């Protein structure tokens, strides 16, 4: 059964797209007119976006690709397989010959000629995009996978609406909601390189605050001492047990010297002596105590690592690890438009700066029990302490 009001909206979308309007422009106009967007399974934000309209032509998703509007119901476009590593279902497209198509003329709401013109325009746009990608293979592409393409990808949010700040050109960032759905009034943009430079400079300044450096060293020492105590737990337990056995032996010897000997004491004494010998052998086999010794230049190493972070990001060999460390420091970065601020934006960074502990280099911590996380790098897990609580500061 066709809903007349919803059918009118679908026709409007097709006709506006046929007239040359982009999916983004159409989504913005629908949101501006207060027209509710479709919700899938009760999910969704209730606003239109360009992806709701454009969808994926291969999978048949999106308003402009739904063949039900021309009276065709298509089944079995895709199948689901379970990822053996994660256990999650993943969609896989089926070949066209496996599709099942059923004619449903009673559900047609779009004429064939309009549908054909829309398909032609979509095809032309796809050809243009493919040509541009062939000419510039390094251009940003959604299909590149889940690894962040840029240093701060996925961490930037709009201070006006909370949506993400995304690349809206080859060099500039802007609010996704303002660009894709028109639900945010923040139309200000900022160069990606300017954001990265301000974040890096701000981090270097904050990470080198004297209180933070001092807490880094103190917390590192506490963690190394904790590791040492855990490693010696077996020694402490063996020493305690040996002390108890020795005391029991002494008590029996005292009783015998005071004339309280009983034949059962001999068997008890033999058992205790055997236990004593076992505990002494265990203690002898354990490594000698090794106090935690921190290199006197640890603070200098910390400072050098922080200062070299930007250089490491520009070195292809160290960039992956440096990016991982840097992104680990940041929870989110909020950009708010402000005409009086640098680059027209106030930038606020939220994060836990204690993650910088991974910058401690091998050899500076003389403790065999320090946890190695990668070749040449030692790390301890920070607990919340002075200077390491979740932090917010403006850049």
Q: What are the pLDDT tens digits along the chain (395 aa)?
A: 788 889 999 999 999 988 888 888 898 889 888 898 886 544 556 788 888 898 887 777 889 999 999 998 888 887 888 777 777 888 788 888 888 888 888 999 999 999 999 988 888 777 666 665 565 555 554 444 445 778 888 889 999 999 999 998 889 999 998 888 888 999 999 999 999 888 887 777 766 667 666 766 776 677 777 766 766 777 777 788 889 989 988 888 888 888 787 778 888 888 888 888 888 887 777 666 555 555 556 667 666 666 666 667 666 666 776 777 677 677 788 999 999 988 999 998 887 554 444 433 333 333 333 332 222 223 333 333 334 344 555 66
- What is the CATH architecture of 4-139? Alpha-Beta Complex (3.90)
Q: How far apart are CA 316 and CA 326, in angstroms?
A: 15
- For 282-317, the DSSP string reads HHHHSPPP---EE-TTHHHHHHHHHHTHHHHHH-TT
Strand ranges, E, within the chain: 72-75, 78-82, 89-93, 100-103, 156-158, 165-167, 172-175, 189-191, 293-294, 330-337, 345-351, 365-366, 372-374, 377-378, 391-394
Q: Which residues are CB-contacts of 178 (< 8 A; sequence separation ≥ 6)?
A: 158, 161, 163, 184, 185, 186, 187
Q: Are the CB atoms for 158 and 189 separated by under 8 Å?
A: no
* pLDDT (0 to 100) of residue 390: 45
Q: How far apart are CA 91 and CA 82, in angstroms?
A: 9
Q: Which of 358, 349, 352 is nearest to 384 (CA)?
A: 352
Q: In the block, which residue shows the tokens 């996925």?
A: 154
Q: Are strands 78-82 and 372-374 parallel, antiparallel or unpaired?
A: unpaired
Q: Are the CB atoms for 379 and 371 separated by under 8 Å?
A: yes
- For 95-151, the DSSP string reads PGGG-EEEE-GGG--S-HHHHHHHHHHHHHHHHHHHHHHHH-TTS--GGG-SS-SST
């Amino acid at each position: 059964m066709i809903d007349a009001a919803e059918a009118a909206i679908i026709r409007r979308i097709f006709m506006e797209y046929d007239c040359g309007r982009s999916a983004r422009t159409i989504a913005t106009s629908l949101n501006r007119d207060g027209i509710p967007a479709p919700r899938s399974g009760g999910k969704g934000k209730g606003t239109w976006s360009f992806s709701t309209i454009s969808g994926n032509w291969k999978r048949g998703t999106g308003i402009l690709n739904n063949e039900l509007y021309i009276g065709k119901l298509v089944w079995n476009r895709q199948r689901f397989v379970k990822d053996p590593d994660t256990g999650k279902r993943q969609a896989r497209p089926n070949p066209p010959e496996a599709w099942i198509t059923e004619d449903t003329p009673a559900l047609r709401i779009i004429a064939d000629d309009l549908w054909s013109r829309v398909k032609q325009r979509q095809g032309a746009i796809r050809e243009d995009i493919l040509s541009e990608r062939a000419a510039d293979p390094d251009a940003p592409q959604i299909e590149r996978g889940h690894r962040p393409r840029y240093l701060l990808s996925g961490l930037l949010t709009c201070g006006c609406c909370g949506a993400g700040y995304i690349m809206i050109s080859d060099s500039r960032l802007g609010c996704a909601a303002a660009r894709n759905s028109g639900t945010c009034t923040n139309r200000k943009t900022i160069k990606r390189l300017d954001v990265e430079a301000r974040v890096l400079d701000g981090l270097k300044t904050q990470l080198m605050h004297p209180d933070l450096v001092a807490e880094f060293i103190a917390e590192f020492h506490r963690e190394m001492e904790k590791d040492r105590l855990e490693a010696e737990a077996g020694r402490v337990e063996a020493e305690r047990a040996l002390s108890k056995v020795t005391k029991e032996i002494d008590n029996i010897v005292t009783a015998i010297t005071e004339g309280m000997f009983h034949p059962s004491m001999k068997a008890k004494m033999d058992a205790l002596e055997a236990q004593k010998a076992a505990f002494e052998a265990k203690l002898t086999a354990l490594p000698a105590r090794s106090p935690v010794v921190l290199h006197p230049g640890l603070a200098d190493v910390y400072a050098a690592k922080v200062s070299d972070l930007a250089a490491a990001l520009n070195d292809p060999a160290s960039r992956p690890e440096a990016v991982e460390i840097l992104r680990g420091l940041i929870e989110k970065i909020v950009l708010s438009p402000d005409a009086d601020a640098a680059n027209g934006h106030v930038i606020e960074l939220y994060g836990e700066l204690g993650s910088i502990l991974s910058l401690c280099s091998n050899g500076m911590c003389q403790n065999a029990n320090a946890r190695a996380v990668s070749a040449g790098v030692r790390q301890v897990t920070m607990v919340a302490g002075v200077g390491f609580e979740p932090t917010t500061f403006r850049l």
